[in-house]
Structure 1
Amino acid sequence: MPTKMLQIPTTDGQADAFAAFPDHGGRHPGVLMYADAFGLRPALREMARELAGHGYYVLAPNFFYRHGPAPLIDLPAHIGEEARSSAVARLMPLIEAHTAERVLSDADAYLGFLAAQPEVGPGPVAVTGYCIGGLLAMRTAVANPGRVAAVAAFHGPVGADGPDSLHRLTAEAHFGHAETDLTPEALGELNRALDVAGVGYTSEIYPGTVHGFTMSDTDAFDPSALRLHWDRLLPLLGRTLTDD
C-alpha cells in the first residue's frame, strides 16, 4: 500500500498530511479524511490505509498545522481515560481557535490539492470525519456542493451549525452517532431537520457506543461499531463516487 507524507500549501502556511492509495496504479476516487482531535497517529493512518485498500485515494491532513506538525502533543500508544482528559485539555484551545473561516479556507486548499494528484480521478470526492472531524467534514461538504458528493461523520457534532447548514447540504450523507452523544429524541430532531432540508441521508445511533467508538487506540473503541462504520461508509462511497 503506497503512502506519502505531504505538505499542502494553504493561505496560512503548509499543512502536513498523510495519504494512502491503491498500489495497482491508475486513478482513483478521492476521499478527504478528517481525524478526531487527537490527530494524525498510527490508529488514524491505519484507518486511511484500510479505506485506500477499497480503491480510494485517502488524504488525511493535520488541520491543526498552524500550531505545528503532527503529533502536536505526546500521546501514549493507548489513550486511556486519564490520558484522554489531559490531552483534551491541552487541545481545547486549538479546537476553539479553529474557526469556521479557517475550516473553509483550509478545505479549499485540501480539495484543490486532492484533485491535483495524478492518482486521483476527475469528479467529486467524499469527505469523512471523526469527532470534531465530523463537524469539519460537514462544513466542507456544505461549502463545496459541486466538489463533494458524499459526507460521512462518526461520533461528531454534525448539527452544531444549525438547521440552516443542513438546507445547504447537497451531498449524500451518513451520520453514525455514539449512544452517549445523542439521545433518541435529539436523533429524531436531527433527522426531521434533514428530512425538511431534502437531504439524502442515513442517520443512526450505534448501539452501546460511547464517544470515540471508531478509534482503536482509545478506551472508547468498539470493534463491532467499527465494523458497522465500514458497512455504512463503503456502500455510500460506492454509490456516489466513480473510478476514472
Structure 2
Amino acid sequence: MPAKTVQIPTPDGLADAYAAFPDDGERHPGVLMYADGFGIRPVLRAMARELAGHGYCVLVPNPFYRHGTAPLVELPEHIGEEDRPAVMARVMPLIEAHTVERVRRDADAYLGFLTSRPEVRTGPVAVTGYCIGGLWAVRTAAAHPGRVAAVASFHGPVGVDGPGPLAGLTARVHFAHAESDLSPEALGELNQALDAAGVDYTSEIYPGTVHGFTMSDTDAFDSAGLQRHWDSLLALLDGALVDG
C-alpha cells in the first residue's frame, strides 16, 4: 500500500500529513481523516492504510503543525488510564489553540491538496474524524458544502457548536457516539436538530462503548465497536462517493 509523509502548504506554513493510496494505479475518491487529539501515530497510519485498501485515497493532516511536526507529544506505545492525565495536560493546550477559524482555514488547504493529487478522482470527497477530529470534520463539511459529500464522526463532540453548523451540512452524515459520551436524551436532541436541518444522517450510540473506542492503542478500545465503525464508515463512503 503506497503511503508517505507529505507537506501541505497553508496560509500559516507547511502542514505535515500522512497519505495512503490504493496500489492499483487507478484514481480513487479522496478522504480527509482527522486524528483524535493524540495526533498522527501508528494506529492512525494503520487506519489510513486500512481505508486505502478499500479503494480510497486518505490524507491524515497534523492539525498542530503550527507548533511543530508530528509527533508533538511523546506517547507511550499503549495509552493507559494512568498515562492519560499527563498526556492530556500536554495535548489540551494544542486543541484549545486550534480555533474554528484555524480549522476552516486549514481545511481549505487540506481539501485543495487532496483533490489536486493525481491519485484522487475528480469530484467530491469525504471527511471523517475521531474524538475532537470528529468536530473538525463537521466544521470542515459545513464550510465546504459543495466539496464534501460525506462526513463521519466517531466519539466526537459534534453538538458543541450548536445547531447552526449542522444546518449548513449538505453531506451525508454518520455520527457514532460512545455510550459514555452521550445520554439517550442528548442523542434525541441532537437528532432533532439534524431532522430540523434536513440532513441525510444516521446518528447512534454504539452500545457498550466508552470514549475513544476506535483507538486500539488506548484502554478505551473496543474491538466490536471498531468493526462497527468500519462497517458504518465504508457504507457511508461507498454510498456517497462510489454509488452516488
Q: Which runs of 5+ in 2 are unaligned?
A: none
Counterpart residue number, 2:122: 122
Q: Matched residues in 1 for 2:76 and 2:93: separation?
A: 21
Counterpart residue number, 1:164: 164
Amino acid at match of 1:23: D
Q: Matched residues in 2 for 1:65 and 1:213: separation?
A: 26
TM superposition shift of 1:211: 0.4
Counterpart residue number, 2:145: 145
Counterpart residue number, 1:39: 39
Equivalences for residues 94-133 of structure 1 within 5 A: 94-133=94-133
Counterpart residue number, 1:175: 175
Residue aligned with 1:203, SS? strand
TM-score (norm 2): 0.99
Q: Matched residues in 2 for 1:228 and 1:85: separation?
A: 28
Q: Which runs of 5+ in 1 are unaligned?
A: none
State the Cα deviation string for residues 88-115 of structure 1 (Å, max 9, x = none). 1111111111000000000000000001
TM superposition shift of 1:26: 1.1
Equivalences for residues 220-231 of structure 1 within 5 A: 220-231=220-231
How many percent of aligned residue pairs carry the same amino acid?
74
Counterpart residue number, 1:79: 79
Equivalences for residues 232-243 of structure 1 within 5 A: 232-242=232-242
Counterpart residue number, 2:20: 20
Counterpart residue number, 1:10: 10
Q: Matched residues in 2 for 1:183 and 1:86: separation?
A: 28
Q: Matched residues in 2 for 1:14 and 1:103: separation?
A: 15
Aligned CA-pair RMSD:
0.8
State the Cα deviation string for residues 19-66 of structure 1 (Å, max 9, x = none). 001111010000000000000000010000000000000000000100
TM superposition shift of 1:165: 1.1
Q: Matched residues in 1 for 2:182 and 2:242: separation?
A: 33
Q: Matched residues in 1 for 2:224 and 2:141: separation?
A: 27
Counterpart residue number, 2:135: 135
Counterpart residue number, 2:66: 66
Counterpart residue number, 1:29: 29
TM superposition shift of 1:16: 0.3
TM superposition shift of 1:4: 1.1
Q: How many residues align?
A: 243
Q: Matched residues in 1 for 2:82 and 2:65: separation?
A: 25
TM superposition shift of 1:242: 3.0
Residue aligned with 1:108, SS? helix
TM superposition shift of 1:83: 1.2
Amino acid at match of 1:6: V
TM superposition shift of 1:177: 0.2
TM-score (norm 1): 0.99
